[in-house]
Structures are given as C-alpha cells and as structure tokens.
Structure 1
Amino acid sequence: MKFFVKFIDRYAPYILLAVLAVTVCMVPGIKRITIARGFDNDSLPAFNELVKSVKEVRKTFAANMRQVIIAVEAQPGYKVTDGHSLELIQKLTNTLKGIKVVKRDSLMSLSTVKSVQSSPDGISSEKLLAKLPSGSIEEAEFENRLAHDPFYYGRLISKDFRSSLILATAYDSADLAEIHNAIASAIEPLRASVPGVTITLVGDPEINYQLNASIEKDIIVFVLLAVGLILLSFLGIFRSWNGVILPLAGILVGIIWTMGLMGYYGEPILIISATLPVVLVVIGSEYGIHVYHVLSEETAHHQTFRQALTRAVSTVFSPLAMATMATFTGGMSLITFKIRPIQHFGIFMGIGTLILMFIAIVVIPALFKVLHKPAEKLQKSVVGGIMHATHLAENVLNHVP
C-alpha cells in the first residue's frame, strides 16, 4: 500500500505520459475494426447440422450471395414500358458494364435478355427489346409480348408494368463499400433523367453495406449520447471541471484501450458488440465517481496528497475490487455460449472492466495529483499577490500627506 501510494505521488507525470503513449498506440487498433452484418458461418458451431448445410449452400451458390439489384420504379400514372423508361434501363445496363466491380456477363435486364419463341419450324430466340417503342401502339405491343413471356413477366418486370429489375453479380474480391461507391456514383447522374421514374439500389451487398453503415453511426451516436449525459451528471454532482475531466478522461481511455485491443485481435463489430462502448461508459463512470469523490473528500481533510491518497485507497480499493471481479466474472461467463461473437463480447467486456479498474486506481489519482498541484500554486500566488498589494497600498497611504 505504501509503495503504491508513494509511486503515484512521485511519478504521477510519468504515469500519465505512459498512459498517453499506450493510448496513442491503441488508436490504430480501433481503425482496424470492421463491421459485420450478422453471425457468419465461422461464428457458429461447426458441428451443428444446419450450419453445415448453410456452408455447403454458400459454397455451391456463392455468386448468388453477391447479386446487385437496381430497381427501376414508375410512380402512379407512369409505366416503365414507355420509350423513355426503357431507354433509361438501357443506359443503366450499359453503365454497369463499365464498372470493374461487376461481372459483365452476369448483367440481366430488359435490354439484354432474349425472348424464346416456338413455331412450326422449331424454336427461335431474338432480343426482347430489339428497338425502343416510339408510341402507344408499340408500347402496347411490347407489353403484350412481356405478358406472354413466363420467363420475365412477374420476374424481371412487374405484372402492372410499373417496375423492372436490373440484375448483376459483383466480384468476390470487391468489398461492400467499393461495390456501393462504384455503382451509386455511376447511376447518380441518371436518377432524375426521366420524370416519374425512381432508381433504387438494393441487393445483398447493398443491404449489408447499409446495415454496416447504420451500426457505425449508431455506435457513434450512442457513445456521444452516453458521454454527454455522463458529463452533465458529473458537472451536476461535483460542480467543478476537475470532477468532469478526471472521470471522463478515465472512461475515454478505457474505451480506446479496449476497442484498440479488439481491433488488433481482429474481432469485427456486430450488433451485440456495438453496445460494448456504452457498457464501458456505464462501468467507468461508476468507478470514476467513487475514486474522485473519495479523493476530493480526503484532500479536504489532509495536508498532503500522499496522506489523502493513502486514505482514499484504503477506503475505496476493496469495494472497487469486488465490484470489478463480479463484473469480470459475469462477462467471462459468456464464454459458455457456443456462438463466437457472444464469447468475444464477454471476453472484451471482462478485459475492459479490468482496464477501467486500473485507470480508476492508478490513472485518475495521478491525474488528480497533476491537476491539483497547479491549483495549490495558484492559490498561494493569489494570496501572495493580495498581501503584496496590501503592503503597497499601506506604503502609498503612509506617504500621502
């Protein structure tokens, strides 16, 4: 106990520099974190029969998992079978042909497919959209051809002729952001080219991309909201900026260290692990409040920081250690789950709890020591300045007749 208190009292600035160095090293780990849409096959128990079947299906039909869909939809009163809408479909199809992330031979739309016809002479095929219809009569003829083609009617084009699909397959080597950015930027100039027609990008890669982006935004919003509320509560409880800065700094450092380790380990963020920063905010705020409150109370009753820290550690260490071990054990109990992301969530929650305990016992007292010392100097300088001004005023009054 005495060595611990003496160490913090003597080396507080160096402790903070070491913590800052470790924090800087953990930032690249956070940048390595990826976001996963859900539990992939590798996250589930390999011996499960359903998991085995899903793996086999994905292995056989992997291309279907990367299908990009562009929906061309007409508003009420419009149809996609008029000349302008069909020309838009042609332009979209040709645009997709020039995108590197899309397999060119996988493109399928009304402008690329062929119509198979049977006749007394045999079976013949011709391009479904040989030319664009130029009037209502030709549009009606084209709709009639579509209505009698079971391959595309109700599949590639809706039965009310108000929506049509453009299908393509993305390369496995392209990541979700690359697919989204390439296709979205390519079709953007065509979105408002035909009145009454909207273009929507969907498909499995796009849905995964939007979900990942949503999780990332939610993490930022939840963490900022939690930190903001904690900040206001600290300010209301302690009514001092030190009471806000010290516990809040401990929380932020704990989150950076934990998420940095998570990134270096290579564990992606899922819906369940997206709540980890908020959980750490809750745990860290509790630890920070206890330590800072006891330090503040003891500092007011003792002449030196070392005496105050000795009393504070003897008061707060035991209950804080018991609370930490209880939280750590609860997190580690999730290892019993057979789903890997839940196991890792429990592991990193336990690690984060230990980190927050270390920060509360070591870093917050060191920061308190550094911030408290200038306050003492400032108080002495102010008192000295007042006394000097008083003596100066007395001398002036003595010389005034």
Structure 2
Amino acid sequence: MSNQLILLSLNRPKLIYVALLVITLVSGLLMLNIQVDTDPENMLPQSEPARIFHNDVKKEFLLSDMLVVGIKVNQSESIFNQQSLADVKLLTDFILTLQGVKQIDVNSLSVIDNISQKEPGSIRFEWMMPEKPQSTEDVTRIESAVERLPFVIDSLVSGDKKAATIYVPVLDKNQSYQIANQIRDYIAQLSKSNTYYITGLPVAEDTFGVEMFVQMGISAPLAALVIYLLMLYFFRSPTLVAAPMIIAMSTVIIIMGLMIGAGFTVHIMSSMIPIFLMPIAVVDSVHIMSEFADNFRPGTERRGVIKQVVAHLFKPMLFTSVTSAVGFYSLILTPIPPVQIFGFFVGSGILLAFLLTILFIPAYVISINENRLYKMQQKLHEIQSLSQRTGQDDSENTLLQKVGRFSQLHKKLIIFGASLMVLFSVVGIQQIIINDNPVRWFKADHEIRVADSVLNQHFAGTYDAHLVFQLKNQSELISAWQKESTILVNNIGLSASQTSRLNQKITESTSTQDIVAASILLDDLLFDAESFSQEAADAMTALSEQTIASLNVFLQPEVLHYIERLQQHIVEMDKIGKSNSVVDLVKTVNRDLVSGQQKDYRIPDSANGVSQTLLQFQSSHRPQDLWHFVTPDYTKALVWIQMTSGDNQDMSLVIQQIEQYIQQHPLPQNISFQWAGKAYLNLVWQEKMVAGMMESLLSAFVIVFIMMAVLFRSVLWGLLAMLPLTITILLMYGIIGWSGKYYDMPIAVLSALTLGLSVDFAIHFIERFRATLKQQQDWQKTIVKMYQEPANAISRNALVIALGFTPLLLAPLVPYITVGAFLAAIMLISALVTIVVLPACMLMLKRFLQN
C-alpha cells in the first residue's frame, strides 16, 4: 500500500495538486455556513435528564436567562440620590424598548411595586419610582420603601446602599452580546456620577462566542507564521518549507469545512481545532524533509531519494498518526457532545494530514527546480561546516550529541531522577481540584470578570441555582378523586347525557385546574337539572374541595414554614447571599394586609390566609412574579438561590450542605425536591466530562499499548514506547495539582493530546533505533547515530509544535492561554523524556531487549 501511494504521488503529481486544490476550495466554501455556539448547556446531550428538567422548570416557572446591569455610585455616600436614581430610571426605560428583552420581567427600582397598607385588610400597590425623583423628599420616600421590602435588598439595591441593579431577561440568550452592546452605548449618554457594569452567564457566554470567533481568525494565522519561520530556519528554503504549510492549511480548511458542512456548530472545543491541527499536520513533513535534507546531495537523483525516505518513514509515521488519532478518537467515549465532535475531527484531521503528506510531499519535491534544492543543500552544508570549523558547541547536532553521551554515562542517575519525578507527580495529582466557571474563561481584567467581581461584592450574587419542590403523589390524588367522583356523579340523578358529559370531564382531568373546571360544570348542570340528589352533589363538591386542598400543597402553612426554615439555613452558608421563594411574598403581603407592622411579617396560620395574601398580590402591577416561585396549581414551588460564585466546587458544596439539611430535617410528606439552574447544569456537565475523560484516557492508553506491542512485536518494547507518554501525563497533571490550577475543560482535553503526541516521539525513536541496530549490529554505534538525524527530527518537531501553540499565549481568553502553555510544555517534556530517559532505560534493559 505504501509503495502504491508513493508511486501515485511521483507519477501523477498534477493530479495530486488539482485534487487537493478542489477539495480545499469546496471545503472552504462550506465554512461560510459557520455557526458559533458557546452555551455550556450544550455540553450536555439534549436527552440528559438534568438538562430536560432544567428547561421544564424554566417553562413552568416562566424563567428567562438574565443579564445583570450594575450601577455603582462614584462619590455620593449612597445610591439614593437624585442623579443616580434618575439614571436608573432612564436606563430602565431604555432597556424596556430593546428588541429581544422580555419587558414584562425586567426588574429594577422603577418597575417594581411598593407594597404598603391602604387600611387594615387592604393593600396598596404603587410603582416604586414611576418617574425620576424631583426632590430629596422623593429620594427619602423611595429609600424608606425599599428598606421595607426584603426581596429588594441585596437584589435590586445593595445592602450597603452603594449600588443598584437592573435584571434584564432575554428572549434568546444568543442575543445577549448584542443587547449588552446597546446598553453600553446608551450608558455613554448618562451622567458620570455612576460606574456601570454588565455581567451574567448569558452575556459572558455570548461574549466569549464573539471573542472566540475573532481569536480563531488571529491564532491560526499566527501559528502558521511561527511554524513557517521555524521550518525556514531549520531548512533554509522557502520553497521546500511551503510544502508542509500547504498541507497544514489544507488539513485545517478541509476538516473545518467538513465539520461545518455536516451541520455542527463551532463550540469552544471545536474552535481550537485549527490551532491543534496546524502544528500536528506538519509533524510528518518535518521528518521527511529532515531525512531528505540529510540524504540528498548534488548529483543524486531526487526521485529515488524521496521515494527511499518516504518508504523508510512510512511505517513509523503511520503508527504515530494512528496513535495520535486514537488519543483524540478516545474523546468520543465522553458523554459531552462538543468534546466528542472535537475528538472525532481532530483525530480525522491527523489521519488526513498523514495521507496528504504521503501524497503531496513527494509530488512537490520532484516538482521543485533542482537549482533551488542544490542551493538549500549548499546552505545547510555551509552552516554545518562553519560550526565544525569554529568549534561551536551550541549547534543543534552538537547539543544533541552531548545529550546522548549524558544519557549513556548517567543512565542510573537519569532513571532515579525520573522515578522521583513520577513520585512528585503522583502526589501532585492527588491534590488536583476539579472546578470550572464560564466567567473565568476571561482574563481577570476583562470587563465581564471585573463586573462579576464588583457586583458579587455588593449584592447577594449574580449566579443562581433553583431548588424545586413538588408534590409526589399528584397523579394518585387525582386518580382517587376520579374514582370516587364517578361513583358520586352516577348517584346525583342527572340525565344520562349530563352524567356522561360530567364523567368525561372527570376522566380527562389531570390537574387542579381541571378539578375546578369539573366543579364549575357540575354547578352549571345542577342549575339546569329538574331534580337531583343534594346529598350526592354536596359530597361531590366536598370531595373536590378536599382534593384541591391536598393538591395545593404550597398553600399549606406547615409546608411554607419548612421552606422558611430551609431558607434561613441557606443564607447562613458560605457563597450564598440570599434566597427567595413564595414565602417572602406571603410574609410581605401579610404584614401590610394585617397591621403594616413587622410583627405580622409572617406566614398566616391557615391555607385560606395564605391564599388570601397571594390573591392580594395578584392585584399588583407585576402579578406574574408570583408564578416565578409557584405553579398556578400550587403543586410545585421554587427557591431561587443567589450565589456569589459560579465555581463548580462552590455549587457542589451548596448541594451537599442543603441535601444534608434535608436529610436531617425530612421534607413534609409526599414532597420531593430536585435541582435546576445554570450553576447546577455547569456542575453536571463538568462531573460527566471528568468521568468521561478518565474513561477515554484509560481506554486509549490500553489501545495504544496494544498497538505498540503489535508494532514492535514485543511487550517490553511496547512498554518502553509508553514511557514518554506515561511520564509526561503524570508530570503535567502533577504540576497542575501542585500549582493549584483548576482541572477545567481545557485541561481535561489535554489528556488526549498528551496521549496522542507523546507516544509519537517514542515510536520514531524506537523504530529508527531498531532499524539502525539491524544495520550496525552494534548498540554503541546505533546510539551515536540516533543522536544525529533521528534525534534532530524529534527536537525539530517538538520545537515546531511547542512554538506553534505560543500564539495562544497572547489570547484574551483563558482557555486558549491554558491550552497554549500546557501544550508547549507537553511537547518539550515528552521530547526530553524520549531522547534522555528512554535511551537510559533501553541501555539498562539491553540484555532483555536483545533476546
């Protein structure tokens, strides 16, 4: 097969050029359909139960994704001054005009009700700030009113009165960036007496998508430039170096085009595909060009040289490409769709780059003008001769030869040092902290990070989690009502058609509203009936009322008291600023309904009393706010938890502490609870990703080891080939643990790249060593030769890949910086282990390897 591919390349170079050009152009056109997606919710499959429940909760409780606009006073002692409140009013009015904003749920001082007592037994609902305050008296009135509303303090106004917020619900979170920019433009027209901040997970995610798209257009070309300059330094021929650059660019365009053409969106993971493939795609080309440059001499027939070189390198290049691809294909085992897509297309890109290298490089080399090849060779020889004449010790080859001698002379010391390094790494791995937060994807000085920090200092928190309570036996209660009701209806004495109509209504009932509708229908039928059994009708009415009371569980005082106690426990926990529920509305309305005094800020003693407070609230300007905390049938209730941190570690601790409280203080009978909210979803996908990454890493590790054993037809050689991979993975994750760097999404993905690339160097080293040993029949001479062209090619590849990722260090997005830094380190460490530790181990095991 290898000979057929090489002959195709050498005999039909124009066909190779045309085919590559056409495929690349078509793929480039497919990229025009690009769609960017940075929603962490999509880290979970649509069938994920936690995601389904979260979206059901949003629908049932009429919840929306929120932008948070903060207004912090600059000089005045309090946000309660005429100018700042006027700015809040003006900005709120502007936000209400924006398309994409759910106006009815915008929340700020100017669009909430001031709840007060009109007279005993009667409530007054008035707009808190219907217009800009005209005097200090207006300001004082607003401040006093705010102090009486617990659900406003630390939500819309900070407890220290230094800041206010506007909550901006969006109809589509993908419009968050656009809406935020419109708000920023308007803010520029307001007074300079306040500082403004915009944050919230939707705008953070959408902003990341915009900046990610920009970063794609910057990092990939920069990586290409760095790689080009490096290879130009190594090979001194712009013409020759153009070949691997063509392969790299074509690989990236084809793979991205296929991915986008297949309908996949560009997520944070897949946005890194170009920067991953760019350096990896030139690896095989560097090996070929390195050996070609060493073997080609003026007067030799280049066709024969390139054919011999490619044939010689085909097997190790094939296995390194396959093992690298396996490392990325292993990501398909994770339960995270964007990671699966990333793994599949990077793995496919590696195999494509190998195929293009085999087909394109020979065709390109035989098409180059011979004079250019001679000039390249002349430059390389001049540099080598100059180094030898001047006795320079810092040349590439001389340095590598010194490394080789060191590895031979101090093999025991090297192995002892490597063992200490492994021990150091194992201890560090045990200290790894798994954590992530989309807001941390930005640098600390990014405006979103700054806004997040400032607002979480002054307010209860910009991150939310939802604790959802629901009646467990709703269907059983309704079924029992249906069964008993059918018996009673048949005994009421209505006509056959009336009885059939009422029974059909009862049979179709599935909710409290349906039972109420059936009761209304019964009253209508009784009004038209000529005669009926009053006793049976009364029994039917009593049964319905009793069932409705049982279903309306979140009108029952004892249940609300439980939620009240739970909320009191919640606010005492670290990282939680506040919680809100229907209990807060009930107590606020009850206070002003009874006496207006704080002693009546409590839950009424009866379900009828609770119901009365909620009926009163529904006459306010914002009756829909009630349904954010309970469903209209009162079978479900939601506690909105505001957190000052969106870190998964903190969310996990909150869950643990609340569930421990519930275990120690059992819920009222027939009530269950479940979690929802963005902070919770982030925790779910992070945990699934970590478990999935571990599974994929172990699976791929075993597969790669089997491949190594098969390739070298020896378990011992296979184990040696895994040495650089094993040490590199352990050391990198050990450093992460010791440094305190969180194990987040980018770090997790690095395991696949480490597995895929670290073993490449070992394959080339061992394969070339065994081939050279077969020729030389002498270990000492073989080792010396290994530190010439083979080690030279490995070091070049390590530098090309490592430095190829350095443009990511200049990115404004933390995941890109993390990937750039750690990948550069991975390449350098794995190359060093390959040319220092691996030979030392081989020499120690010499007598076993000779058998």
Q: Same-fold call, TM > 0.5?
A: yes
Moved more, 86-95 or 225-234: 225-234
Partner of 1:394: none
2-side partners of 1:58 and 1:347: how far apart?
Answer: 33
Relative to structure 2, which stretch is displaced further, 279-288 or 70-79? 70-79
Does the 8 A contact of 1:328 with 1:351 survive in 2? Answer: yes
Partner of 1:269: 266
- In structure 2, C-alpha distance between the alignment counterparts of 1:378 and 1:234, rounded to whole Å: 16
Q: 1:9 — aligned with what?
A: 10
Q: Contact 1:254/1:352 (CA < 8 Å) preserved in 2?
A: yes
Q: Tell me the residue number matched to 2:366.
A: 369
Question: What aligned pairs does 1:128-167 form with structure 2 within 5 A after superposition?
Answer: 128-167=128-167
Q: Is the 8 A contact 1:78 1:196 kept in 2?
A: no
Residue 197 of structure 2 aligns to a residue in which SS? Answer: strand
Provide the secondary structure at the position in 1 that maps to 2:261.
helix
Q: In the TM superposition, what is the alpha-carbon distance from 1:217 to its structure 2 partner?
A: 4.2
Distance 1:86 1:55, change over 3 A: closer
TM-superposed CA distance for 1:158, in Å, is 1.6
Structure 1 portions without partners, runs of 5+: 380-401
1:163, distance to aligned residue in structure 2 (A): 1.6
CA separation of 1:375/1:244 partners in 2, compared to 1, >3 Å: closer, same or farther? closer
Look up the equivalent residue of 2:340 and give its one-letter code: Q
AA in 2 matched with 1:345: F
> What are the residue-to-residue correspondences of 1:103-252 with 2, within 5 Å?
103-121=102-120, 122-172=122-172, 176=174, 178-252=175-249
Does 309-318 or 367-376 show the bigger shift?
367-376
Q: Please point out which of 279, 284, 296 is paired with 1:282.
A: 279
> How far 1:317 moved relative to its partner?
1.4
Larger Rg: 2
Give the distance between the partners of 2:240 and 2:318, measured in 1 at CA: 22
Residue 299 of structure 1 deviates from its aligned partner by 4.4
Verify the 8 A CA contact 1:68 1:203 in the aligned structure 2: yes
Aligned-residue sequence identity (percent) comes to 20
Helix, strand or coil at the partner of 2:114: strand
Note the C-alpha offset of 1:338.
Answer: 2.7
Report the equivalent of 1:387: none
Letter in 1 for 2:212: I
For each residue in 1:169-217, what CA deviation from the matched residue of structure 2 results, as whole angstroms up to 9, or x when unmatched? Answer: 2223xx62x4422442354143252122122233332121122234334
User: Cα distance 1:345–1:297, how it changes in 2: closer, same or farther (>3 A)?
Assistant: same
Mapped contact 1:191–1:199 kept (Cα < 8 A): no
Superposition TM-score, scaled by structure 2 size: 0.41
| SS at 2:250 equivalent | helix
Instruction: Classify the secondary structure of the residue corresponding to 1:266.
Output: coil
Mapped to 1, the partners of 2:315 and 2:70 lie a distance apart of 62
Q: Deviations over 1:51-107 (max 9, x none)?
A: 55435434535x534223322221243543222222222222222222221123222
Q: Which amino acid aligns with 2:127?
A: K
* Amino acid in structure 2 at the alignment position of 1:17: V
Secondary structure at the aligned position of 2:28 is classed as: helix
AA aligned to 2:72 is E
**What is the Cα deviation at residue 166 of structure 1?**
1.9
Kept after mapping to 2: 8 A contact 1:38/1:271: no
CA distance in 2, matches of 1:228, 1:290: 19
**Pairs within 5 Å for 1:28-177:** 28-37=29-38, 39-40=40-41, 43-44=44-45, 46=47, 50-51=50-51, 53-61=53-61, 64-77=63-76, 79-121=78-120, 122-172=122-172, 176=174
Quick one: distance in 2 between partners of 1:320 and 1:377? Answer: 27
The Cα of 1:360 is off from its aligned counterpart by: 0.8
Alignment gaps of 5+ in structure 2: 377-851
Higher relative contact order (CA 8 A, sep 6+): 1
Paired letter, 1:70: V
8 A Cα contact 2:36 2:266, kept in partner: yes
The Cα shift of 1:378 comes to: 11
**Contact conserved, 1:41 with 1:51, CA < 8 A, in 2?**
no
SS in 1 for 2:110: coil
Normalising by structure 1, report the TM-score. 0.81
Q: Is the contact made by 1:191 and 1:198 (CA closer than 8 Å) also made in structure 2?
A: no
Alignment of structure 1 residues 211-360 onto 2, 5 Å? 211-300=208-297, 303-360=300-357
SS in 2 for 1:198: strand
The CA distance in 2 between the partners of 1:232 and 1:108, in whole Å, is 55
| Distance (Å, rounded) in 2 between the aligned partners of 1:98 and 1:187 | 14
Preserved CA contact (<8 Å) 1:95 1:187: no
Q: CA deviation at 1:234?
A: 0.7
Following the alignment from structure 1 to structure 2, what is the Cα–Cα distance between the partners of residues 11 and 321?
22
* Count of residue correspondences: 374
SS of residue in 1 equivalent to 2:198: strand
Cα 1:249/1:180, change in 2 over 3 Å: same
Deviation for aligned residue 1:218: 4.4
4+ runs of 1 displaced by more than 6 Å?
376-379
Measured after TM superposition, the shift of residue 326 of structure 1 is 1.6
State the distance in 2 between where 1:318 and 1:133 align: 80
